[in-house]
Structure 1
Amino acid sequence: MAVDCSKAIVGVKAKESVKIRKTRSTSATALGLWVKGGKGGLCNDGKATTGATYTLCGKTSNKWYWGGPNSSDIDGWIPSTCVNW
């Protein structure tokens, strides 16, 4: 899937420490970690994409964002319930 990062949302904070995933599933390979309170960015103008359903950070959803923390060069799929913007 092509992800448009030309319109990124910046200054996004992680609600809890959350794994960055290779695909939109909690069972997918973890590429890295976005630590609680750490800032980062979301691509595609912050529009979520559907994937596997999960319960994380106190909520259940099937929405995922492509992005990552400023503290690393790793980008991947982030559960939408675990970030604030």
Structure 2
Amino acid sequence: MTYHKREEPLKKLLIAPLAVAALALAGFVPSASGTAAVENDTMSTVAATAKCKSLTALSTVHVRKSASTKSTSLRLWYKGTKGCDIKGVDGGSYKNTCGIPSYHYWRKVNYRGTVGYVPNVCVKYS
């Protein structure tokens, strides 16, 4: 019986980090109140994610800190994977991106917990 008592606290220690990791992959981050919230400016609760407009990347693209190709890349959004649309924004011009010679419209997105900007022509609603 002593063996099971030692095993139980270990299971509890493993469950919390796994739950946090699963929420992070889904685009949620824990808040100070202990509830999960979507990390962006228009969807602040778990319930709001049902209203998420799903986007699919048409090619692998950089998620950037601001709507400019000169902005820092926060991460890569891989071709065929899904993320959440937040809003469209006018930004810096980009050339020869995702098969388009030149354009300037961007999408603010939440991709796997990272909020940033991608060229509009590199994603489609799915």
Relative contact order, higher structure (CA 8 A, sep 6+): 1
Q: Look at both structures and tell me which one has the larger radius of gyration over its CA atoms.
A: 2
5+ long unaligned stretches in structure 2: 1-39
Count of residues paired in the alignment: 78
Residue 84 to residue 73, structure 1, CA distance change in 2 (3 Å): same
Residue identity opposite 1:34 in structure 2: W
More strand by share: 1
State percent identity of aligned pairs: 31
Which structure has the highest helix share of the two? 2
Superposed CA RMSD in Å reads 1.8
1:41 aligns with 2:81: no
Report the TM-score when normalising by structure 2: 0.56
Query: Residue 67 of structure 2 contacts residue 91 of structure 2 at CA under 8 Å; is this kept in 1?
Result: yes
Q: Which runs of 5+ in 1 are unaligned?
A: none
Following superposition, the deviation at residue 3 of structure 1 comes to 4.4
After TM superposition, where is structure 1 displaced by more than 6 Å over at least 4 residues in a row?
none
TM-score by length of 1: 0.81
2:53 alignment partner, one of 9, 13, 16: 9
